[in-house]
Amino acid sequence: MAKTGLPADNVLKYIKENKIKFVDLKFMDFPGQWQHFTVPVSQFSASSFVDGYGFDGSSMRGWKVINESDMLIIPDPETLFLDPFIEAPTISLICDVYEPATKEKYSRCPRNIAQKANSYLLSTGLADTVYFGPEAEFFIFDDVRFDSTPNGSFYFVDSDEGRWNSGREENPNLGYKPRYKEGYFPVPPTDSLMDLRNDMVLNLENCGLEIEAQHHEVASGGQCEIDIKYQPLLKAADQLLMFKYIVKNTARMFNKTVTYMPKPIFGDNGSGMHVHVSLWKKGKPLFAGSGYAGLSEMALYFIGGILKHAPSLLAFTNPTTNSYKRLVPGFEAPVNLAYSQRNRSASVRIPMYSSSPKAKRVEFRCPDPSCNPYLAFSAVLMAGIDGVINRIDPGSPLDKDIYDMSPEELKDVPSTPPSLDAALDELKKDYEYLLKGDVFTEDVIETWIKYKIEKEIKPMALQPHPFEFGLYYDV
């Protein structure tokens, strides 16, 4: 059941001292979107952390059928933050999802899967903490329109920063628009989003997140990044959802819109989410050693697990059809499954900024911010643990610039799946490592694959594409 005692008492004390009027209860659906409902403080008490609140699980994507719809959410008192976007004083609490009949955590609740992944790590005795540091890139647009009907389909995004607007009449057009693939790191006025990102950082910090840096990213058209400090698995996933919520709502206050869609613009960089990972035990880092790039044997085996299972991992870390418009051979995202120090063209990189053992980590560069972080982080951990337990050799590092290598040189280097359906096919063949410790279940794997095929892949396959009209209308 949910934690009770002092943390819960602190929540009630905070409500009273800050004259809070509402409690917003947030939880994660199966694909990866925050859902919520709100209760007045008159309906919130210490018993809320034990009895929870009922809701209709059949209305959640990938969850219950209509005749088994009743479910419970129970708030985690340690996740409190004051919501800066709601007019009436409102706190938010992140919740776990339970079966009301058994009071057991729901097996398809993504947060439950992350909690089980952490428990499995502890059970192995390898480490007691895994840290995740995600770097989620995003676009800030000034306008977005899209539609898909039986007789038409289109999308349109726009940004005052977009290089495509260099010739637009703006009364006046001042010309400071980042060149394609050259948005990293111009100063203002070319970087026109400095004040907005600063406001985002202030809101993030006020909600309890520790921010390391903010900057413009490579693409023209408003691509940005804000780096949040690494945290243990569950907290890292919680904070990534808070991060997306706060960034989107801050942008909306400026009459702008944010998307974490991996590839919203053709011909420029997409948005990735490089994920930094390290294992610790009793306060000591376990990835520092005397091996390649200052890594320990454990770290190299962890990399071996990620590389071995990467084709199936991508079904969770890159879970949209749009994800694979970013993961294309010969372009900016790493598709070749290799590891290297410093080399940003490798799918697993060992950052070399610091010689401190505490800074030693591995960076998985394939993921993107469309993922469900509870599932993605858990899957990465499970792949890494499998590598350590089975001593999976990652092979030799690839320290060349992969983008400059010839096809002959690359023929023996495995690559990522070319599409979501290919990644799901890999998951069908390679998922035993995810079942250890009952972290992922057969039901979760099967439901994930079925949902993605029925709700995303098949509809996309049936829909005529606007670009096809240029290719084929005159046949």
Active site residue ranges: 56, 135, 137, 217, 225, 274, 344, 363, 365
* CA-CA-CA-CA dihedral for 402, 406, 409, 413, to nearest 10: 50
And the tokens for 180? 């394609």
Handedness of CA 131, 137, 143, 147 (dihedral sign): negative
Q: With contact defined as beta carbons under 8 Å apart, do 326 and 254 qualify?
A: no
Residues 109, 122: contact at Cβ < 8 Å? no
Do the Cβ atoms of 263 and 369 come closer than 8 Å? Answer: no
> How is residue 44 annotated by DSSP?
-
Q: What is the dihedral of CA 218, 262, 376, 111, to 10 degrees?
A: 110
β-strand pairing of 339-341 with 348-350: parallel
Instruction: Return the structure tokens found at 333.
Output: 């995202």
**382 burial level (CB within 10 Å; 0-12, 13-18, 19+):** buried
Q: Is 267 exposed, middle or buried (0-12, 13-18, 19+ CB in 10 A)?
A: exposed
Answer whether 15's CB lies under 8 Å from 91's CB. yes
Q: How many residues does the chain have?
A: 475
Q: What's the rounded Cα separation, in Å, for the pair 340 and 398?
A: 5
- Using a 10 angstrom Cβ sphere, with 0-12 exposed, 13-18 middle and 19 or more buried, the burial of residue 460 is middle
Taking alpha carbons only, the member of 159, 28, 161, 16 closest to residue 94 is 28
Q: How far is CA 307 from CA 149, 314, 336, in A?
A: 41, 11, 10
CA distance 334 to 329: 8
Residue entry with tokens 């994930």: 448
- In sequence order, which residues have a C-beta less than 8 Å from that of residue 172 and are 6 or more positions away? none
What residues form DSSP beta bridges with 274? 135
Instruction: Please give the Cα distance from 9 to 18 (Å, whole number).
Output: 14
Measure the CA–CA gap between 49 and 46, rounded to whole angstroms.
6
Give the CA count within 13 Å in the CB-facing half-sphere of 58.
6
Nearest CA to 397 out of 328, 344, 349 is that of: 349
Distance CA 20, CA 135 (A): 33
